Amino acid sequence: MKLNGVPRWVIAVAVIGGLFVAFPLVAMATRVDWPHFGSLVTSEASVAALLLSLRTSLIATALCVILGVPMALVLARTTFPGQRVVRAIVLLPLVLPPVIGGIALLSAFGRQGLLGRQLEIAGISIAFSTTAVILAQTFVALPFLVLSLESSLRLAGTRYEVVAATLGARPSTVLLRVTLPLVLPALLSGAVLSFARALGEFGATLTFAGSLQGVTRTLPLEIYLQREVDPDAAVALSSVLVAIALLVVGLTLRSSAPLRSSLSLRSGLAERSGIPERGAR
């Protein structure tokens, strides 16, 4: 191991931190009933919960992309009064306890909520439905995409966008053919993180959507219920979520590598050409 000037005690503390994260996961793996793993994770309730989680998480991720890309662009490329307050509100679900997010959604879209009351009159019921699951997942996952994409937009700067605009490209053309391709790895990374957060959502879903098998009972809710009646099934299903999370982390790291390489190459070319990089506001 090359220390590169890092004190040995720092490495020791880092190893302890790594073990603190890894040891519980390893311990959980030792509790999985591997001989009966297949039957534990393929029960009717487990399969229904997994399929519901995957379906709703994919829809929630799509909503995060649709809503999050414009939000990140506005926060990174524009200046307006109260921008810091808006950014704080957008990122608030990152620090809010999920159950509070569920209560907030219930206050907005529940049968007695500000908007939900009007929807009920129109015959549209959202709370305690699959739609409620999607809204809860989108609510908690959206900040991950906005934060990831906004940071990359600021890091990428506006140099190429300015050049394209100078050559006569319309703003929409610049966005679709310059801006988005430039930060595409960050967009993919943010989408993958949003999917992972949506897949693991529990508190807001339980509060806002409830736990109805095949309708609102996602995999985390199924694990919570199985923990009381069948601990072996709960551990087996938990290992499935851990495996998915590991895959997501791997995809995230892989998708962020091209962005780092692209930005490093661009900075090197700019330095050699004597043209300074222009950062975002």
pLDDT at 271: 44
pLDDT tens for the chain, 281 residues long, are 677 778 888 999 999 999 999 999 999 999 999 999 999 899 999 999 999 999 999 999 999 999 999 999 999 988 999 999 999 999 999 999 999 999 999 999 998 899 988 998 888 889 899 999 999 999 999 999 999 999 999 888 888 888 888 888 898 888 888 889 989 989 998 999 999 999 999 999 999 999 999 999 999 999 999 998 899 999 999 999 999 888 887 877 775 555 555 545 444 434 433 434 444 43
Q: Report the 10 Å Cβ neighbour count for 31.
A: 13
pLDDT at 249: 79
pLDDT at 269: 37
Q: Which long-range contacts (CB under 8 A, 24 or more apart) does 78-87 make?
A: 79/281
CATH architecture of the domain 41-273 equals Orthogonal Bundle (1.10)
Calculate Rg over the CA atoms of the chain. 22
pLDDT at 277: 45
Furthest-apart CA atoms within the chain: distance in Å: 68
Chain centroid to CA 274: how far? 38
Q: Backbone phi, then psi, for 95, in 5-degree steps?
A: -110, -10
Question: Domain extents for the chain?
Answer: 41-273
